[in-house]
Chains A and B, each alone.
Chain A
Amino acid sequence: MKRSVFFGAMAAGLVAGAASAATLDDVQSRGTLNCGVSTGLPGFSSPNAQGQWEGFDVAVCRAVAAAVLGDPQAVEFVPTTGQTRFTALASGEIDMLARNTTWTFSRDNDLKFEFTGINYYDGQGFMVPKALGVTSARDLSGATVCIQTGTTTELNLADYFRANNMDYEPVPIETNAEAQQQYLAGACDVYTTDRSGLAATRATFENPGDHVILPETISKEPLGPLVRHGDPEWGDIVRWTLNALVAAEEYGVTSANVDELAQGTENPEINRLLGTEGELGAMIRLDNNWAVNAIKAGGNYGELFERYLGEGTPIGLPRGLNAQWQNGGLLYAPPFR
């Protein structure tokens, strides 16, 4: 009896290993989406006073959960550090990662992940205390720099200082919270990460005005959600959920009017997006109102940006590159047809 149980468990383990390719089925049978987020970066993903995760990256997870399961709350958030995020995704602990992660060639191809789009166009910057009197990153030779390990920013930093013949002392840090604490204690002169991350971190300081973000942007950091390689179906779902949020802003579909518009409109593109026309949902094995659910979860891209990062928030980031293409930004959702 015992032996048969043992072999049964073994067989089950083998089957589970083989079946993990179909992430959509796993998520639907589980009833929750496991989504990897950061350990806490205000504006992008951090728990609020009620212990609920919220932020710009969190909203992407919730939109995907709403599209797949019809419930934006059906998300299990897994906090990951810069070092643990890829292992968590590769091992199947999480179904998708939405943790301001930079899309690079080697991550896409060598690490075997699939980036499903870009939800924030960013670049790496430097933050220093105003009291240092530094106005340019070129003045930073000899500085002590706090840097999150296992990130692209770590590599950019090494390249930038090398290319400009400057030396520096890296202080490797595991999470944004630790970096903030070290930086405020003066254990490092400079904190470097994505400019959005700097703005978000600075917004939580007691005196944000005492710190400046230097004008130089030393890299391109296209941040986006990603999934495992080898399950294109699941990758498409995450990709088109993100596209739906972007397209919704373009067509003026908001969380407030989506129910009304879902009754049918004059615009066939909106009708296809919201499932009143065509069978787009079935093509990605979802209900036809998947996009309605995704948009209702938190709103379209513009609403999410305004709520978590925009100029009305303490973080106060301008839309910049993250505006719609008609407004001079880079957001450009492919057609829904």
Chain B
Amino acid sequence: MTTTAAEPPKQSFHLGQLIYDTRYRSLTIQIVALVLLMLFFSWLVSNTVQNLATLGKDFDFSYLGQRAGYDINQRLIDYSSESTHARAALVGILNTLLVAFMGCVAATIIGVIAGVLRLSSNWIVSRLMTVYVEGFRNVPLLLWIIAIFALMTEGTPQPRDFREGGTASMLLFDSVAISNRGVYVPAPVWGPGSLALGIVFVLSIVGIWAWRRYAHARQERTGEILPVFAVSLALLLVPSVLAYFVLGAPIGLDYPELGGFNFAGGLHLRNSLIALWLALSLYTGAFIAEIVRGGILAVSRGQTEAAFALGLRPRRTMNLVILPQALRVIIPPLISQYLNLTKNSSLAIAVGYMDVRSTLGGISINQTGRELEGMLLLGGFYLLLSLVISSAMNFYNSRVKLKER
């Protein structure tokens, strides 16, 4: 009991340890970085506040409730110059969503087709796709938007050329007019009974889904392959067409007709929408084509050979073996292409398409002088939209990714 372990010498804490002692160093660095970051942001905010004060401006969102006073040509909801700036922003948001949605769908279709065809063994087809991909990928999007818009404005006839004795005429039994103000197509007119027709249509889609499920289950059980495609097509068309005639043709068509300065009636797809949509789809489609090609090449050649060895035909090999595996590689970069397309739609101003950038972030700002408020709202909107798209696609990605057991 005489020997007791000497107490370890009590180290007194000194400041130098914060830097030289590995136990504290990382903490110190993080705190310093945090303080600097906070200083930077507080400087940013105080600078903004100070500059606003110098200009005699306040920070106020109440302008959104004031009368907008300007007109918007493409409106998916009711809007007039008597509506508020908030309503104008909403009209713009819907226009952005419309072109982004149409663009994403078209870009995916174009991209998948071009990506698969670029791997084609046909020399001409694969080279053509290479030209498409490299041509669109390597030229700025803005140029494509303007080029397509200019082509449509300069290369198509004016509405007054469609008059009797004019140089232009309508297509498809006088139902479609392609003019330099846009494409006019017949618009559906929903008569009484169209709701019933709609219900029949939805029911036949449910029927298709049920039939595919049944066919799949039966194939799993017995190995017998049922004709899925033909039956689906019949289910889609036959009940709807029958109901259409039984109900006495409830859906009519409103044909565009030349009246006054412009075509009246029908559906007016403005050149600005078409140019923006085409340019966004073709541009993003080129990137998606490369993603699809990369995804397919990432599936090892052995998989194809194994599928052939089992006696699967090339189309089934593609659908059942290659694509499900390729999707895992394709989906994540595809998400960022969708986000790019959505954000790129803000180039709409180049062709006068009234998206949210043109209404909320353009005319409203200009008429009210609320630059900071407008830009913050605009940034917030794009951030929110991107996060929604990204989380929806991530959800889909988690469904198709490799299920590890």
Contacts and interface: CB of A to CB of B under 8 A. Distances in A.
Interface of A: 10, 13-14, 17-18, 20-21, 82-83, 86-87, 90, 106-107, 110-112, 132, 140-144, 149-150, 154-155, 157-159, 161-162, 168-174, 181-182, 185-189, 228-230
A140 B261 CA distance: 8
A26 to B, nearest CB: 13
Contacts of B158: 185-187
A171 B73 contact: yes
Nearest to A13: B47
What class of interface size applies to chain B in its complex with A? 35 or more
B47 A90 contact: no
B54 A174 contact: no
A187 B181 contact: yes
Interface of B: 43, 47, 50-51, 54-57, 69-73, 80-82, 153-154, 158, 160, 180-181, 259-262, 264, 271, 349-350, 352, 354, 358, 362-363, 365-369, 371
A229 B56 contact: yes
A82 B349 CA distance: 13
Nearest to B353: A172
Q: Is the interface of A mostly helix, strand, loop or mixed?
A: mixed
A157 B70 CA distance: 8
Contacts, number: 118
A110 B71 CA distance: 22
Nearest to A134: B261
Contacts of B350: 174
Given A110-B368, A149-B358, A144 B271 contact: no
A229 B71 contact: no
Given A144-B261, A230-B55, 6 more contacts: A86-B366, A112-B57, A144-B262, A154-B363, A170-B72, A170-B73
Contacts of B368: 106, 110-111
Given A157-B71, A172-B73, A230 B56 contact: yes
Contact of B54 (A21, A158, A172): A21
B362 A83 contact: yes
Given A17-B47, A187-B153, A187-B181, A110 B369 contact: yes
A337 B153 CA distance: 58
A142 B264 CA distance: 9
A198 B371 CA distance: 30
A186 B156 CA distance: 10
A141 B362 contact: no
A158 B70 contact: yes
Contact of A154 (B54, B56, B70, B261): B70
29 contacts: A17-B47, A17-B54, A86-B366, A90-B55, A106-B367, A107-B369, A110-B368, A110-B369, A112-B57, A112-B369, A142-B260, A142-B261, A143-B260, A144-B262, A149-B358, A149-B362, A150-B362, A150-B366, A155-B70, A158-B70, A159-B69, A161-B71, A162-B81, A169-B73, A169-B262, A172-B73, A186-B158, A189-B261, A229-B56
